[in-house]
Amino acid sequence: MSAFNHYIDGEWVSSAGAARNINPSDTDDVIGEYAQAGRAEAEAAIAAAAQASGAWRAGGVQRRFDCLDFIGSEILARKDELGRLLAREEGKTLPEATGEVVRAGQIFKFFAGEALRIPGDATASVRPGVDVEVTREPVGVVAAITPWNFPIAIPAWKIAPALAYGNTVVFKPAELVPGSAWALSEIIARSGLPAGVFNLVMGEGREVGQILLDDPRVDAVSFTGSVGTGARVAAACSGRGARFQLEMGGKNPLVVLADADMDAAVACALNGAFFSTGQRCTASSRLIVETSVHDQFVEALTSRVKALRVGHALAEGTEIGPVVDQGQFDKNRRYLDIGKEEGAALVCGGERLERDTPGFYMAPALFAGTGNHMRINQEEIFGPVAAVIAAADLDEAVAIANDTPFGLSAGICTTSLKSAARFKRESRAGMVMVNLPTAGVDYHAPFGGTKASSQGPREQGRYAAEFYTTVKTAYVGA
Ligand code: ADP
């Protein structure tokens, strides 16, 4: 029996299966055994969420505020401990992990406030003597299906708005990171929510996740993960008329113009491409550099990349943690081979690094002399790998930036207001960054992309209401 169980209908529930949670910085370090749900647990969680829905939607917003505020406060108070757990199971560095935990706490605090500010409209009717009221109501049962790369922030930005707007939740975290999910759920379980309002089921996506997608009692699915799984979510949900929201990959460009502050541009590229081991959907994987400064940029970036300290996520001074697991490590290596076969020049990195503990350590890799049509510039790798593409001028840079199946984030480094304004206008991405890394966003502003990156309403901030509520229009006569 595992020490870390599912949370269903207000109870901690074990199940037959369990899975080990392994530290990618030290594969000898087992974080714990986490219960693995099957059909019975998934269906019990859905039934509990459906059962609790009516009373929760009618329960009033003060209680929602109190619960979310409690959760946010406890996450913030325990940021160091939760940050260590997150770094240990996911492999991002301790400062990055602690920062993510703080972000999760802030998100719960934000949506505690939003529960008291659910918007509505009163408008004049075209018929005299009639009033028109537009209100926002809960959708019902929401399934939150999350990836491994932000083990507490992404669950927070789905669970917090779902609860704030009066929905009940079934949370299915990624297989690789049940630890942070369980710790978050343990806090939520003590926050004063009625039984069944929030449920945690851990387990395989293709089994437990698929049950959530197919069950008619699940009214909405908020998913972050791969494009392939996102297509499954879309097919299952649209087939049965359920609401869905998808956040998937990116192949985010960072354009560097000749007039940019070169040190700042190199710092943006370094951060955007390699921090969090490049395992961010907003990572800058395509560095599009104006030809006149191309060589200077590559030289400066290469020396910064080579100097990055790759090591154990918990070790003092580590700048880049390990890759999350062997599967992702192998995928990164495959793309390095693909890049070389396509004729790209590997300027540095890509090799396996030995450290004191057995882990998935990879030297950050930089390609130069690449073309945008190459697979390494069209397909998401999701590792510490970036490629430089030369562009003659802003026109060509914009065209290359937009020539991708994805459209999540896009950045430009320039000192020209005119060029920045044009890039903001012409970029086909959902988020545009000027003189900032492509990764790194605020929690109260909408997050999301275009094309294959996203589908459905935006996440985060007040825009989250679009997904987690349904609009009712009431006509009231005299
Ligand atoms: P990644 O490549 O980041 O692991 P996935 O799309 O495989 O991306 O996983 C994201 C989330 O989707 C995880 O929680 C995973 O368990 C879940 N998942 C995977 N397959 C399915 C599926 N068929 N139905 C529902 N959820 C799934």
Look at residue 478 in the predicted model and tell me its pLDDT: 83
CATH number at residue 34: 3.40.605.10
Whether 131 is covered by a domain: the verdict is yes
Ligand 1 shell residues, CB under 6 Å: 145-148, 172, 174-175, 205-206, 209-210, 213, 225-226, 229, 232
Mutate to test the pocket of ligand 1, among 36, 145, 276, 379 (most ligand atoms within 8 A of CB): 145
Amino acid identity at 378: Q
Query: Which atom in ligand 1 lies closest to the alpha carbon of residue 204?
Result: 16
Tally of structural domains, the chain: 2
Question: What are 135's two structure tokens?
Answer: 């209100």
CATH of the domain at 308: 3.40.309.10
| Cα–ligand 1 centroid distance for 419 (angstroms) | 39
- Tens of pLDDT along 78-90? 999 999 999 999 9
Q: Say if residue 50 is in the same domain as residue 181.
A: yes
The answer to whether residues 311 and 188 belong to one domain is: no
DSSP H helical ranges for 141-219: 153-164, 178-189, 210-214
Backbone angles phi, psi at 63, to 5 degrees: -65, -40
Extract the tokens encoding 271: 């951060």
Q: How far is CA 384 from CA 129, 183, 366, in A?
A: 64, 28, 8
- Do residues 266 and 239 share a domain? no
Same-domain pairing of 48 and 134: yes
Whole-number Å distance, alpha carbon 334 to ligand 1 midpoint, is 21
pLDDT of residue 3: 82
If you measure from the C-alpha of residue 82 to the centroid of ligand 1, how many angstroms do you get, rounded to a whole number?
Answer: 24
Looking at the structure, do residues 180 and 269 belong to the same domain, yes or no?
A: no
Nearest-CA residue for ligand 1 atom 26 is 209
Q: Which regions of the chain are under pLDDT 50?
A: none
Q: Do 174 and 268 have their domain in common?
A: no
Domain around 382:
252-434
Whether residue 200 is found in the same domain as residue 306: no
- CA atoms lying within 13 Å on the CB side of residue 242: 27
What residue's CA is closest to ligand 1, atom 14?
Answer: 174
**Please, which residues have CB within 8 angstroms of residue 36's CB and are 6 or more apart in sequence?**
15, 16, 17, 18, 19, 202, 203, 204
Give the model's pLDDT for residue 76: 99
Query: Are 68 and 192 in the same domain?
Result: yes
For 194, the token pair is 């009625």
Atom number, ligand 1, closest to the C-alpha of residue 203: 16
- Residues whose CB falls within 8 Å of the CB of residue 460, separated by 6 or more in sequence, listed in order: 107, 157, 441, 443, 444, 445, 446, 447
- DSSP 8-state assignment for residue 343: T
The residue contributing the CA closest to ligand 1 atom 17 is 205
Could you tell me the distance, in angstroms and rounded to a whole number, from the CA of residue 297 to the centre of ligand 1?
A: 37
347 Cβ neighbours under 8 A, 6+ residues apart = 298, 302, 366, 367, 368
How many CB atoms sit inside 10 A of residue 63's CB? 15
Ligand 1 pocket test: pick from 222, 229, 325 the residue with the most ligand atoms within 8 Å of its Cβ: 229
Catalytic center residues: 247, 281
